[in-house]
Amino acid sequence: MTHTGTVPRSLNLVGGEWRASNDDGWMEVRDPADHRSVVGEVPAMGAHDVAEVYDAAVDGAARWAATSPIARGRTLLRAAQLLRERAEPIAAELTREMGKTLAEARGEVGKSADFFEYCGGLARASQGEQLADERPGVRAWTIREPLGVVLAICPWNDPLLTPARKVAPALIAGNAVILKPASYTPLVSLHLARALADAGLPSGVLSTVTGRAAAVSGPLLEHEALRAVSFTGSNEVGAQISHALAGRRAKILSELGGKNAAIVLEDAELERAADTIATAAFAQAGQRCTAISRVVVERAVADSLIALLTERAGALVLGPGLAPDTTMGPLVSPEQQRSVSSFIERAISGGVDAVAGGRTPQSDHLAHGCFVEPTVLREVTAEMEVWREEIFGPVLAVLAVADLDEAINVVNDSPYGLSASIFTTRLNAAMRFADEAEVGQVAINLPTSGWDVHMPFGGYKQSGSGLKEQGTDGVAFYTRTKTVALAT
């Protein structure tokens, strides 16, 4: 990191060196709690920079593939240790550029280290399997090989965790990785690159690319050395990436939008359900792909549940993520603030009742930040925009239904299928929901988020490509399988 005036500048890792862009262009990173404040600058890279990144990655991929899995694992374990040792400054940087509370940021750093510890441990797991062969004197087995150069395109909402989720399995599999963080939140990804470099990762095995999408997206996706893309973000950008890779020798794993629902049955423990749903809806200001944004409640307890959710939304304290009393931070940018606010405004204009929140705070200490009050909406119908479209903010829509049959139908009547939960004390209802919910993750008396690093993660329908991240499934994506037969 270097400084110009009072604004620190962070450099990209390219071929083992920390570099600015070739044309010395820079991008500002602003504090969403006070958008007047610039918290850092990163290089605005271009096509020539990307070409040099690929040159380094091709060399790094060959070197890393020839490194034993156990040596790779030790590097990842050292990186995990460094992330934990540096947790406080990394968490503070994450909060300054993204806005989540310091407690949330600390949790993200810890979970990111978990990914490297888990994948580092896989170095001693099976690297293939023995196969039966009916020919006498013949032995057969499989080998898992790295793909080569892979590209990780990451979102702004979990700017350390999502890169860790992609980079760790790609590295343990033996690939070189090019990491493209989101333009709103690039700083913390460079901390991740620093930890890996300091852990002894060879030059070229990881490179970072910061830059405006218009300048770097084409060069990143069009290079002939690219063998896989792992993308987390919007459905629109995911479709563009799929189109760009059509007919190419490159795999794609995409984790896209979600409109996650929670069913609350009449027999549920309502206080527990309300606590869990409010946390899942409003943590990180609702900016999680797995956040609960829809509540489907049996009519007999709808008023009671709505009252509890309203109480919990009203108890949240908005403010800068670094302030000790803050329990909900800002949205990531003015653009996101405007988008979320417009969803709320259209819903209220359409007859929806905002029983909590629904406004943009105007108090002096929040006026220059990207804040939206935690919002609970009732009188919602299943045809409304606020019920069907991903908002990605602290907005919870509640719909009352007659019974479990109707609740399951309402949950499944969505273009998305990432995650869903049910709150009930009836085992048969819980198991039926687990069988019939058309989502990639089902939670019972739990939030829709919180999946551990060894648990396969990914959605159905328009929530992704259908491939899983995390666990051994996540590592398998970054490999190809070779079958070997030997006559003895």
Residue range 111-144, pLDDT digits in tens: 999 999 999 999 999 999 999 999 999 999 999 9
Q: What is the DSSP string of 196-262?
A: HHHTTPPTTSEEE----HHHHHHHHHH-TTEEEEEEES-HHHHHHHHHHHTTSS-EEEEE----EEE
Identify whether the C-beta of residue 102 lies closer than 8 Å to the C-beta of residue 451: no
User: What residues contact 68, with CB distance under 8 A and at least 6 apart?
Assistant: none
Q: What is the DSSP string of 56-115?
A: HHHHHHHHHHTS-HHHHHHHHHHHHHHHHHTHHHHHHHHHHHH---HHHHHHHHHHHHHH
The DSSP bridge pattern shows strands 138-146 and 130-131 to be antiparallel
What pLDDT is stored for residue 356 in this prediction? 97
Give the pLDDT confidence of 392-429 residue by residue, as tens digits: 999 999 999 999 999 999 999 999 999 999 999 999 99
Same-fold call for 2-256+465-487 versus 260-452: no
What pLDDT is stored for residue 364 in this prediction? 87
CATH code of domain 2-256+465-487? 3.40.605.10
How many angstroms separate the CA atoms of 220 and 418, rounded? 28
Give the pLDDT confidence of 6-41 residue by residue, as tens digits: 899 999 999 999 999 999 999 999 999 999 999 999
Side chain identity at residue 323, one-letter code = A
How many angstroms separate the CA atoms of 130 and 315, rounded? 58
User: What residues contact 53, with CB distance under 8 A and at least 6 apart?
Assistant: 14, 15, 178, 207, 209
**For range 295-304, the mean pLDDT:** 98
Q: Is 289 annotated as catalytic?
A: yes
Give the pLDDT confidence of 65-93 residue by residue, as tens digits: 999 999 999 999 999 999 999 999 999 99
Phi, psi of 433, deg, nearest 5: -65, -40
Which DSSP category does 363 fall into?
S
Cα atoms in the 13 Å half-sphere on the side-chain side of 85: 10
Angle at alpha carbon of residue 181, lines to 14 and 237, rounded to 5° = 125
Question: Is residue 3 predicted with pLDDT exceeding 60?
Answer: no
User: What residues contact 368, with CB distance under 8 A and at least 6 apart?
Assistant: 34, 35, 36
Nearest to 278 by CA among 319, 318, 306, 320: 306
How many angstroms separate the CA atoms of 328 and 73, rounded? 37
Distances (CA, A) of 130 to 136, 138, 139, 259, 464: 15, 11, 8, 42, 32
Give the pLDDT confidence of 467-476 residue by residue, as tens digits: 999 999 999 9
CATH class, domain 260-452, is alpha beta
What pLDDT is stored for residue 2 in this prediction? 52
Q: At what angle do helices 102-121 and 69-85 cross, to 10 degrees?
A: 160
Give the pLDDT confidence of 159-190 residue by residue, as tens digits: 999 999 999 999 999 999 999 999 999 999 99
How many angstroms separate the CA atoms of 410 and 399, rounded? 9
How many angstroms separate the CA atoms of 180 and 327, rounded? 30
Domain boundaries, the chain: 2-256+465-487, 260-452
Phi, psi of 266, deg, nearest 5: -60, -30
What pLDDT is stored for residue 474 in this prediction? 97
Side chain identity at residue 405, one-letter code = D
Percentage of the chain with pLDDT > 70? 99
**For range 241-259, the mean pLDDT:** 96
Side chain identity at residue 274, one-letter code = A
Question: Which residue in the list 119, 154, 289, 370 is annotated as catalytic?
Answer: 289
